[in-house]
A and B are shown apart, each in its own frame.
Chain A
Amino acid sequence: MQMAWKEVKKSKMKFLILGSIIFLVSFLTFIISGLANGLSEDNAALIKNVPNGKFYLNEDAKQTYSLSKIDVDQQDNLLADYNGATAMSIQMGFVNDAEDKQHSVAFVTSTDSELFPNVKDNEVVLDASLKDEGIKVGDILTNNQFSGEFKVVGFAEKQTYSHAPVAFISMKNYQEIYRVMEMQTVFIPGSDSPDSIKGLESFTNKEFLNTIPSYGAEQMSLNMIIWFLVVISGMLFAIFFYMMNVQKIGLYGILKAIGVKTSSLFSMMWYQMLLITVVSLVLSVGLSQLFSMVAPAGMPFSLPIETTLLLSVVFLVIGFIGATISGFQIKKVEPLQAIQQGEM
């Protein structure tokens, strides 16, 4: 360990370069992860906020919630049979404020439920992000397809759907706007929710997220970038330590000749890898958390500390693998070869 630390101290620039590369790659990974998570929240917070359970869509809906219509009798039976079951509908739309300014929203309605705000007719509960657009409690909002007016009675935190703030309205108002009597989906919470109900197709929360247009594609692209960056950082470790090891083959040979164990040489390399990675990760975790606090309000960015810690562990594992692969050279080094190479 001492020898490893002494090399780091003596060759500061070399290790500083590797450290800064790891710092930049991990910082970029955390930022993209924050954006992916933020976009995911922005796209599907409404669904992500509900507890685990199953969503049921009409079998004829081709796994698209907007095409689904649950038969009213069947809905009543399900709500009666399963404790906590809720029927709900979601449709994209807009509301106009007093200045006739249009705001995109996702109208959500549901049967009586603890999962969503209970709103009376002609009332609306909005996602809190609409406060930033100047809407206050008591404001009156309108919709072209709705004969009445909505009075804003409250705001709900983090309730977005398909990148739009959610507007919770009553079933009666919803039915008037969209000229439909049936609800789109029934949600049954808990692990004992049935896998199949006649005429309906079941979806776990995660599966239901993928029925949201663009959700799957968006998340897949961002996650691919994240994992590419993780793999690239592993390769950087392997390449950097490979180059360092090539430079040090003579040294390793001499150390082996005087009796240093191969395992000690590996430990030296692992210690250096660990030191560089931990310092780089501490800096990038700190900076990304700071960014998370100062990120512009309109930017969908969410970076829980658990995510950064999980990614940090992945970086450490990948760094360890990369360094170890490059270290196979150490095992192959022959002392004699090093002695014959001359001065290091």
Chain B
Amino acid sequence: MAIFTIDDVEKTFKNGDVSEKILKGVDLDLNEGEITALVGPSGSGKSTILTIAAGLQKATGGQVLFEGKDMTQMSQEEIRKIRSSEFGFVFQSSHLVPFLTVEDQLLLMLDVAETKLNKKQQKQEVLKVLDLVGMSHRKDAYPSSLSGGEKQRVAIARAIIHQPKMLFADEPTASLDSKRSKEVMEIIRNLTKTLQITTLMVTHDEEMLPYADRIVTMKDGLID
């Protein structure tokens, strides 16, 4: 059953008098608990559709329906609330907050998502999620002392700690070597399956495709 629907979404970028249509009417349904991998050549529009779906930029036309509600008609504040409580993000770089420890990164996300857990429960939840990504032994470490793979594990933990319904992952393994990439993808797959999180992932790496339930190819701003 589709929890997320992208319906005839268009995106045109304007640069002075020149306008370029990046998305030419994309249709895509994302089913609950499913991992969908978006692949395609550079410039095909896959990152653009991911950021529009995640509410990080607006579409020029079409509808983006999350649980039946059209996000293109929502205010910035409504979209922010959805991003903080219902969505999780993993980016190409980990984008951790440099002055927070691993534990604090996750506690921050629980605060932002306005979960109803008290401080003690929050700490327990953080330890549980850090265990899932194999990082509980580094809970007091700052990002500067973590390796690339460790940072990305923490980023994944931050993305799912508030139990979002959707996970958006933009090239989550691009900055990692092959071994670490597979570890990270296994973690994403295990977690999303355990927690029934619907995932939309953009990747260039064909080795990551076996971890997806569905592969969607984009070309010239359209689903191929």
Identify the A interface with B (CB < 8 A): 3, 6-7, 9-11, 250-251, 254-261, 334-336, 338-339, 342-344
Contacts and interface: CB of A to CB of B under 8 A. Distances in A.
A237 to B, nearest CB: 20
A294 B83 CA distance: 60
B57 A259 contact: no
Given A6-B99, A254-B97, A344-B93, 15 more contacts: A10-B142, A251-B97, A254-B91, A256-B80, A257-B83, A258-B112, A259-B80, A259-B81, A259-B84, A336-B51, A336-B56, A339-B91, A339-B95, A343-B95, A344-B95
A139 B186 CA distance: 100
Interface residues of B, number: 30
Residue among A9, A257, A261 with the most chain B CB within 10 A? A257
Nearest to A254: B95
Nearest to A248: B98
B170 interface: yes
Contacts of A342: 92-93
A343 B99 contact: no
A343 B97 contact: no
A261 B112 CA distance: 8
A257 B164 CA distance: 14
Contacts of B158: 258
A259 B85 contact: yes
Residue among A11, A251, A255, A343 with the most chain B CB within 10 A? A343
B127 to A, nearest CB: 19
B94 interface: yes
B89 interface: yes
Nearest to B94: A343
A256 to B, nearest CB: 8
Contacts of A255: 97
21 contacts: A3-B97, A3-B100, A3-B108, A6-B100, A6-B104, A9-B99, A11-B99, A257-B54, A257-B56, A257-B89, A258-B158, A259-B80, A259-B83, A259-B113, A338-B95, A339-B56, A339-B91, A344-B93, A344-B95, A344-B96, A344-B98
Interface in B100-145: 100, 104, 108-109, 112-113, 142
Contacts of A335: 56
Contacts of A334: 57
Interface in B144-175: 158, 170, 175
A251 B108 CA distance: 13
Contacts of B113: 259
A344 B151 CA distance: 12
B99 A258 contact: no
B13 to A, nearest CB: 12
B140 to A, nearest CB: 13
B104 A343 contact: no
- By secondary structure, the A interface counts as helix
Interface in B33-77: 51, 54, 56-57
A335 B170 CA distance: 14
Closest 6 CB pairs of A and B: A259-B84, A10-B99, A343-B93, A254-B95, A7-B99, A259-B83
Contacts of A11: 99
B77 to A, nearest CB: 9
Contacts of B95: 250, 254, 338-339, 343-344
Contacts of A260: 84, 112
Contacts of A256: 80
Nearest to B151: A343
A245 to B, nearest CB: 15
Contacts of A250: 95
A260 B100 CA distance: 15
A254 B109 CA distance: 12
Given A251-B97, A339-B91, A258 B84 contact: yes
A6 B108 CA distance: 12
A240 to B, nearest CB: 17
A336 B57 contact: yes
A11 B98 CA distance: 10
A11 B175 CA distance: 27
A255 B112 CA distance: 9
B76 to A, nearest CB: 9
Nearest to A4: B99
A7 to B, nearest CB: 4
B170 A258 contact: no
